[in-house]
Amino acid sequence: MSLSELKQFLKPQMERVEAQIDASLRSDIGLLDATNRSLRENRGKMLRPMLCLLVGGACGTANEDTVRFAAASELLHNSTLLHDDVVDGAAERRGLPTVAALLNNPAAVLIGDFWLVRCVQTILDAGRHPEQALRFYAKTLSDLAEGELLQMQKASSADTSEEDYLRIIYSKTASLFEATALAAALSVDAPEALRKAAADFARNLGLAFQIKDDIFDYESSADAVGKPVGIDLQEQKITQPLLCALETVSAEEAAAVRRKVATILDHPEQVAEVRDFVLSHDGVALARKKLDYYIGLALSSLEALPESPERNYLAELARFVGERTR
């Protein structure tokens, strides 16, 4: 399945989501409005809004509140990206200069804040359960902050465990997928069993999505995946491919590799050494097995949902996440 096929299926609803986002971001401040329009022109995959619409349709009949929550998920996602670019000192995103690079860090933070506030307003304007939906997204913001700080804490010590890693990628990625699905199910008054199934699906989908992103960091070339490789190691992040490779060697060799990660800032040539270690010890192949495991869990969760075109498309979305090339 291609994203274009899924977008065609969702086209009327996605047009309403796009209109809601544009309306939410409108401002009479010229700099802000122009920057928002530029960001909207360089939008990403829109996976979270599509997930919201599909879950709403799979659990009931998607409605205007489903559209609102779908828009809110994208507003929140992009707010965090604007803030992340400041934290990471990133000069580019999606192949174009970041707001922080074009303007400055304070402007990027303020624009990220604006997107976040407009996300909250969009949720509160919903007709059904706005306060409960807001709690889902508020939890995501808390998770994001904790995940980022845990990752920072683990960077210099290079002692990230599998448990640490799963908490980090849940907090930074899967939590928003889960909140989006819960809000979608809430928007159609789905019963508890369907809400749980939708949340389980989205959480495992989010974990798989991040593992796939972390695999990209070890792929053979930037041209192949459309993003720079080796960035995670430069930032001392121990992710799934490295964790898998470490499991194949003795405790002494694993400790030596971790020491290299811990000292990478002083010895940048060790990025290539650690990357070679991962590739030579099947770290990428083993990480793909972990990815397949979470895709399998996501697909199994769908069995609790009634048969529908939306449920079928959710399954296709999970397969796309596992097979995407960028």
Nearest-angstrom CA–CA distance, 222 and 25: 33
Phi, psi of 264 (to 5 degrees): -65, -35
163 three-class SS: helix
Inform me whether the pLDDT recorded for 144 exceeds 80.
Answer: yes
Mean pLDDT (whole number) for 37-55: 93
For the CA atoms of the chain, what is the radius of gyration? 20
Mean pLDDT (whole number) for 137-156: 95
Mean pLDDT (whole number) for 271-296: 97
Inform me whether the pLDDT recorded for 224 exceeds 70.
Answer: no
pLDDT at 225: 47
pLDDT at 222: 47
Mean pLDDT (whole number) for 155-162: 94
pLDDT at 324: 86
Task: Pick the range with the lowest mean pLDDT from 90-99, 105-114, 238-247.
Answer: 90-99
Decide: 193 and 60 in contact? Cβ < 8 Å.
no
Structure confidence by residue, pLDDT tens digits, 72-82: 999 999 999 99
Quick one: pLDDT band at residue 124, thresholds 50, 70, 90? very high
How many CB atoms are closer than 10 A to CB 288? Answer: 18
CATH architecture of 3-323: Orthogonal Bundle (1.10)
Give, as one character, the DSSP assignment of residue 269: T
pLDDT at 88: 84
Mean pLDDT (whole number) for 66-92: 94
Inform me whether the pLDDT recorded for 223 exceeds 70.
Answer: no
pLDDT at 15: 96
Inform me whether the pLDDT recorded for 326 exceeds 80.
Answer: no
The three-state DSSP-derived secondary structure of 176-225 is: HHHHHHHHHHHHCCCCHHHHHHHHHHHHHHHHHHHHHHHHHCCCCCHHHH
Decide: 166 and 297 in contact? Cβ < 8 Å.
no
Inform me whether the pLDDT recorded for 174 exceeds 50.
Answer: yes
Which residues contact residue 296 at a Cβ distance below 8 angstroms, ignoring those fewer than 6 apart? none
Quick one: pLDDT band at residue 229, thresholds 50, 70, 90? low
pTM of this structure: 0.94
Mean pLDDT (whole number) for 291-316: 97
Nearest-angstrom CA–CA distance, 215 and 234: 15
